Amino acid sequence: MAAALHAANEGASVALIEADDKLGGSTALSGGVYYAAGTSVQRERGIDDDTPDAMFEYYMTLNQYRVEASLARKLCDHAAEKLEWLKTLGVNFPAESLYSSGVESIPRGHAAHGRGAEIAEVLDREVSKNNIDVVLGSRLEELVIDPDGRVTGVRVGGDVITSHAVILATGGFGANPYYLNQYYPDAAEQHDKAWYIGSPHCQGDGLQLGQEAGADIVGYNRGILLTTPDFKKELEVFVPGWLTYVNREGRRFINEMAEYAVMSGVIKAQTGGSCFAIFDEEARRTAKPNKQYEDAFAAGIISLNWIADEIDAQIKTGKVIQADTLEGLETKCGIRPGSLTATYDKYNRDIKSGEDSMFFKDHNEMKPVETAPFYAVEILPAIICLTSTGLRINSQTQVLDERGQPIRGLYAAGETTGNVLGERYIGGGNSITNAIVFGAIAGVEATKEARRNS
Ligand SMILES: Cc1cc2nc3c(=O)[nH]c(=O)nc-3n(C[C@H](O)[C@H](O)[C@H](O)COP(=O)(O)OP(=O)(O)OC[C@H]3O[C@@H](n4cnc5c(N)ncnc54)[C@H](O)[C@@H]3O)c2cc1C
Verify whether ligand 1 is closer than 6 Å to residue 435 (CB atom): yes
Verify whether ligand 1 is closer than 6 Å to residue 199 (CB atom): yes
Residues 216 and 247 in one domain: no
Residues 182 and 316 in one domain: no
- Tens digits of residue pLDDT in 202-259: 999 999 999 999 999 999 999 999 999 999 888 888 899 999 999 999 999 999 999 8
Last residue of a domain, one of 383, 417, 434: 383
Neighbours of 46 (CB within 10 A): 8
Last residue of a domain, one of 331, 348, 383: 383
CA of 196 to the centre of ligand 1 (A): 12
Confidence of residue 280 (pLDDT cuts 50, 70, 90): very high
Query: Residue 261 above 90 pLDDT?
Result: no
Residues 123 and 142 in one domain: yes
Q: Produce one character per residue of 204-239: b if its CB has 16 or more CB atoms within 10 Å, e if not.
A: bbbbbbbeebbbbbbbeebbbbbbbbbbeeeebbbb
For position 454, what pLDDT does the model report? 81
Query: Residue 453 above 90 pLDDT?
Result: no
- Tens digits of residue pLDDT in 102-160: 999 999 999 999 999 999 999 999 999 999 999 999 999 999 999 999 999 999 988 99
Maximum CA extent, the chain: 76
For position 179, what pLDDT does the model report? 98
What residue's CA is closest to ligand 1, atom 31? 25
Residues 24 and 149 in one domain: yes
Lowest mean pLDDT among 49-53, 382-386, 450-454: 450-454
Residues 170 and 35 in one domain: yes
For position 233, what pLDDT does the model report? 87
For position 57, what pLDDT does the model report? 98
Residues 95 and 235 in one domain: no
Last residue of a domain, one of 383, 408, 429: 383
Mean pLDDT of the chain: 96
Q: Produce one character per residue of 374-405: b if its CB has 16 or more CB atoms within 10 Å, e if not.
A: bbbbbbbbbbbbbbbbbbbbbbbbbbbbeeee
Please report the beta strands in 318-362, taking only residues with DSSP state E, as ranges in sequence order: 321-323
In angstroms, what CA-CA distances link 137 with 20, 23, 172, 314, 387? 5, 10, 18, 41, 23
CA of 54 to the centre of ligand 1 (A): 27
Would you mind telling me the total number of residues written for the chain in this entry? 454
Residues 45 and 73 in one domain: yes
Q: What percent of the chain has pLDDT over 90?
A: 93
Neighbours of 267 (CB within 10 A): 21
Q: Please state whether the peptide bond connecting residue 289 to the residue before it is cis, i.e. omega within 30 degrees of 0.
A: no
Tell me the residue range of the domain where 344 lies: 226-383
Residues 197 and 231 in one domain: no
For the CA of 201, the nearest atom of ligand 1: 47
Confidence of residue 264 (pLDDT cuts 50, 70, 90): confident
Give the domain CATH number at 402.
3.50.50.60
Residues 172 and 289 in one domain: no
Give, for 442, the enclosing helix (H) or strand (E): helix 430-453
Residue of 140, 203, 431 to test ligand 1 pocket, by largest number of atoms within 8 Å of CB: 431
For the CA of 26, the nearest atom of ligand 1: 30
Number of domains in the chain: 2
Residues 128 and 27 in one domain: yes
Q: Where are the alpha helices (DSSP H) in 63-114?
A: 69-89
What is the value of pTM for the model shown?
0.95
Give the domain CATH number at 326.
3.90.700.10
- Tens digits of residue pLDDT in 283-341: 999 998 898 898 989 998 889 999 999 999 999 999 999 999 999 999 999 999 999 99
Residues 111 and 240 in one domain: no
> What does the radius of gyration of the chain's CA atoms come to, in whole angstroms?
23
Gap between the Cα atoms of 262 and 224, Å rounded: 9
Q: Residues 6 or more apart from 141 whose CB is under 8 A from it?
A: 155, 156, 205
Mean pLDDT for the stretch of residues 270-282: 97
For position 292, what pLDDT does the model report? 87
Residue of 161, 170, 212 to test ligand 1 pocket, by largest number of atoms within 8 Å of CB: 170
Q: Residues 6 or more apart from 119 whose CB is under 8 A from it?
A: 27, 28, 30, 32, 34, 86, 91, 112, 432
Gap between the Cα atoms of 118 and 7, Å rounded: 22
Helix %, strand %, coil % of the chain (to 5): 40, 20, 40
Gap between the Cα atoms of 177 and 114, Å rounded: 31
Verify whether ligand 1 is closer than 6 Å to residue 197 (CB atom): yes
Gap between the Cα atoms of 224 and 92, Å rounded: 26
Residues 82 and 157 in one domain: yes
Sort 145 into a burial class: Cβ within 10 Å, 0-12 / 13-18 / 19+. Answer: buried
Gap between the Cα atoms of 220 and 387, Å rounded: 10
Q: Produce one character per residue of 160-179: b if its CB has 16 or more CB atoms within 10 Å, e if not.
A: ebebbbbbbbbbbbbbbeeb
- Tens digits of residue pLDDT in 67-87: 999 999 999 999 999 999 999
